[in-house]
């Protein structure tokens, strides 16, 4: 799993040992090695916990799930790119869409008629 690869990369960048992170998470170094190796027995919750303990965002997990759900191959180079920037853009697009729908739903009927050329 790419998530484990990203977690290992981030842990190494921060100079944290497997023992330190595993202990911080309440697990063993062997358990953390399984997470980092992407072993199928690991839980999504464990990947999220490791990422958050390292101060990472969780886009590398969420985006890979999103791509898989659409039967698309997740671009491997994306996990080392500007994921926080991409995450912010996604959140902005979602927020703008939700706000536009909310504005439409909260607009009085007479105002909607005016906008559509009906009087």
Report pLDDT for 107. 83
pLDDT band, very low/low/confident/very high, at 88 (cuts 50, 70, 90): very high
> Is 0.85 topped by the overall pTM?
no
Could you state, in order of their start, the residue ranges of all structural domains in the chain?
1-80, 82-119
Whose tokens are 């063993």? That residue is: 28
Read off φ and ψ for residue 103, nearest 5 degrees. Answer: -60, -45
Answer yes or no: is pLDDT of 48 > 60. yes
Could you please state the CATH topology (level 3) that the domain comprising 1-80 is classified under: 434 Repressor (Amino-terminal Domain) (1.10.260)
């Amino acid at each position: 799993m790419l998530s484990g690869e990203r977690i290992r990369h981030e842990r190494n960048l921060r100079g944290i040992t497997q023992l330190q992170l595993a202990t911080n998470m309440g697990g063993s170094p062997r358990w953390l090695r399984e997470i980092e190796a992407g072993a199928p027995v690991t839980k999504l919750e464990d990947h999220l916990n490791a990422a958050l303990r390292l101060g990472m965002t969780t886009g590398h997990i969420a985006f890979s799930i999103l791509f898989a759900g659409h039967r698309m191959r997740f671009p491997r180079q994306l996990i080392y790119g500007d994921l926080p920037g991409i995450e912010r853009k996604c959140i902005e697009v979602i927020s703008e869409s939700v706000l536009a729908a909310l504005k439409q739903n909260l607009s009085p009927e007479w105002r909607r008629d005016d906008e559509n050329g009906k009087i």
